[in-house]
A and B are shown apart, each in its own frame.
Chain A
Amino acid sequence: MGTYDDTALVAGMLASAGVQPSEEELATLGRLHPALRRQVDRLYAVDVGDAAPVAAFRPGDGLDAGRRGSLGNGS
């Protein structure tokens, strides 16, 4: 895996989502990021074979996410 600046990466990912924490907050998130990646990498180390995701698509459900409500802003 290549090297990268965690804070810059975090800032870029969040900015691409329109989320803009302060510089201090980005630095904090940058410090947390390596631990987050370690957790993610540990998941890829599990021998899951061909396991499908637990949250599987079920066409008969008639899912209507709006029924649990939203923030009222289209989220």
Chain B
Amino acid sequence: MVGELRFLEIHELAAALRAGEVTSVQLTQEYQAAADRLDPELGTYIARFDEAALAAAARADAELAEGRDRGLLHGIPLGVKDIIATEEGPTTAQSLVLDPGWGPGGDAPVVARLREAGAIVLGKTTTMEFAIGAPDRSKPFPVPKNPWDTGHWTGGSSSGTGNGVAAGLFPAGLGSDTGGSIRLPAAYNGVSGHKPTYGLVPKSGVVPLGFTYDHVGPLARSARDCAVLLDVLAGPDPADPTTVDAPAWRRGAGDVAAVDGPGGDGLAVLAGLRVGVARAATVEGGACEAGVAACFDAALGVLAQAGAELVDVAFPLWDELHDACFLGLFAEAFAWHRATLAQRWADYGYDTRMTIALGGLVSAGDYVQAQRVRSRGQVEVRALLEQVDVVLTPTTGTVAPAFGERAMGREQRLRALFSPPFNSLGLPALSVPMGFDGGLPTGLQIAGAAFADDLVLRVGAAYQQLTDWHRRLPELSVAPVS
């Protein structure tokens, strides 16, 4: 069976491990061999922890042999975005500027939780500098490429985790999302990515971008696998006072993990589900390409056929919540970076320093107003989510752009991202593959009420029972590993 495993989902890998068809060491070696072949082209990793990963895999195998089973993630290799601290070495945030001594001096709580659950950390994955820049060939870091077409970008900023899952370099991993940085690479690379409700997953030990917009969450081959990771990641942490205990999530998590398992009836969630379709704000907003809109309509048709009730909704304050995300996160980023921008301006990448500098042009009053608009948005969107169970949009209005492509102006490029309002609101939002436009993947965004992460993931898992977009593989990645 070894050699066929790289593209399996976590529950399938877990079954193979327990059936003795493969060991964690063999699995780790297979992913490492794939990285040997593909990483130089794809730019997935900033650092690999080959020896430490193999040692951890050997321990996982020994535990399973002794009858100690830590759960579905036991012995499963993962990638970790390089703004998240791990004990193996410094975090770079893909920047020359970050002090190598930054961090808690060990694992971030999210990494510690994954290890406690038996996961193997294969290495640190590429990002945009400080999770906000752009691919920058002038700096000594890899430029992540899209495995569906290496002339195109992966999206970001969880770039390496996204393209690594798509290319079969690991089955899942960690990303972060301040304006769409989990969902965007999920959509562009044809994988699944979940931005949890704000406060569900701790951000301690993670390089901040926008303190009140940052979220940490999983990217994986399926919504179901995202749920498997989220079940381990969720829960309060004393070092992050924004975290909360969310018993509702804990009640739902086990069911989500089993949603399409033997005897399960994952499709039941769709019967009578009230689906709000935010068409006017997104598809009809002037920033959505026709091919993406066609994929979105087809996805809606699948859900309706399975019993969901589609309702066109006017999403309140969509544009304003979009603006409140970027203006607010720019200001928060500027506060964190100001001293270093003053001292080491040229050491930042061009896009990074220019974007963060915009935060210095937002006044204190402007920033407070953005936070007041978010408050108003919370009230109005909560009312909307009493009328419908989930809200659907395309994740973005375009497929992954080609490197150097500037077909749209800056403002229109940002408008084509349909993720930021959910950062302003802190609501759970999942992106799952929904088809292809010109050979490149498109994403379906499923958002719900605060702490309704279980419902959002169930809807995503049900959609993936009815479609196979998430099982499509980029040609580049499936060539045999020699």
> Chain A interface (Cβ within 8 Å of chain B)?
10, 13-14, 17-21, 25, 28-29, 32-33, 35-36, 39-40, 42-44, 46-49, 51-55, 58, 61-64, 67-75
In the complex, chain B residues whose CB is within 8 Å of the CB of A14: 357, 360-361
| B52 located at the interface, meaning its Cβ lies under 8 Å from any Cβ of chain A in the complex | no
Asked whether any CB of chain A lies closer than 8 Å to the CB of B336, the reply is: yes
B99 proximal to A (CB < 8 A): yes
Bound form: Cα–Cα A60–B86 in Å: 30
Across the interface, which residues of B come within 8 angstroms of A52, CB to CB? 372, 375
Determine if B102 and A72 form an interchain contact, defined as CB atoms under 8 angstroms apart.
Answer: yes
Residues in A with CB closer than 8 Å to B338 are 17-19, 75
Residues of A within 8 A of B101 (CB): 72
User: What residues of B have a CB within 8 angstroms of the CB of A44 in the complex?
Assistant: 369
A32-B375 in contact given A61-B241, A73-B99 (Cβ < 8 Å): no
Contacts of B372 in A (CB 8 A): 46, 48, 51-54
Q: Do residues B371 and A39 form an inter-chain contact, with CB atoms below 8 A?
A: no
Q: Give the size range of B's interface with the partner.
A: 35 or more
Nearest CB of A to B51, in Å: 26
Partner of A68, one of B205, B366, B371, B375: B205
A67 contacts across to B, CB distance below 8 A: 104, 204, 239-240
Chain B residues proximal to chain A, CB less than 8 Å: 85, 97-99, 101-104, 203-208, 211-212, 239-241, 317, 319-320, 323-324, 326-327, 334, 336-343, 345, 353-354, 357-358, 360-362, 366, 368-376, 378-379, 410-411
Nearest-neighbor residue (CB-CB) of A20 within chain B:
B345
A72 to B444, CA, bound (A): 40
A-B pairs with beta carbons under 8 Å apart, 7 shown: A17-B341, A19-B338, A28-B354, A32-B358, A48-B376, A51-B375, A70-B336
- B99 contacts A72, C-beta separation under 8 Å: yes
Asked if A43 and B320 sit within 8 Å, CB to CB, the answer is yes
Q: Are A70 and B357 in touch, CB under 8 angstroms?
A: no
- CB–CB B345/A19 < 8 A: yes
Q: Which residue in chain A gives the minimum CB-CB distance to B356?
A: A19
In the complex formed, the residue of A with least CB distance to B101 is A72
Q: Flag if A55 contacts B212 (CB, 8 Å).
A: yes
Knowing A19-B342, A62-B241 are in contact, say whether A46-B320 is a contact too (CB < 8 A). Answer: yes
CB closest chain-B residue, reference A39: B323
Establish whether residues A70 and B370, one from each chain, have CB atoms under 8 Å apart when the complex forms: no
In whole angstroms, how far apart are the Cα atoms of A35 and B358 in the complex? 11
Q: Determine which of A17, A28, A53, A71 lies in contact with B336 in the assembled complex, contact meaning CB atoms within 8 Å.
A: A71
Name the residue of chain A whose CB is nearest to the CB of B319: A42
**A64: shortest Cβ distance to chain B, in Å?**
8
* A49 to B370 Cα, complex, angstroms: 13
* A54 CB → nearest B CB, Å: 4
Is there an interface contact between B212 and A71, defined as CB atoms closer than 8 Å?
no
Given the known interface contacts A52-B372, A69-B207, the answer about A10 and B336 at a Cβ–Cβ threshold of 8 Å is no
Which chain B residues border A36 with CB–CB below 8 Å? 327, 358, 361-362
Q: Which of A19, A72, A73, A74 interacts with B357 by CB under 8 Å?
A: A19
Given contacts A48-B375, A51-B376, contact A21 B319 (CB under 8 A): no
- Cβ-defined partner of B343 (8 Å) among A40, A43, A73: A73
Asked if B102 and A71 sit within 8 Å, CB to CB, the answer is yes
The answer to whether B337 touches A75, judged by C-beta atoms less than 8 angstroms apart, is: yes
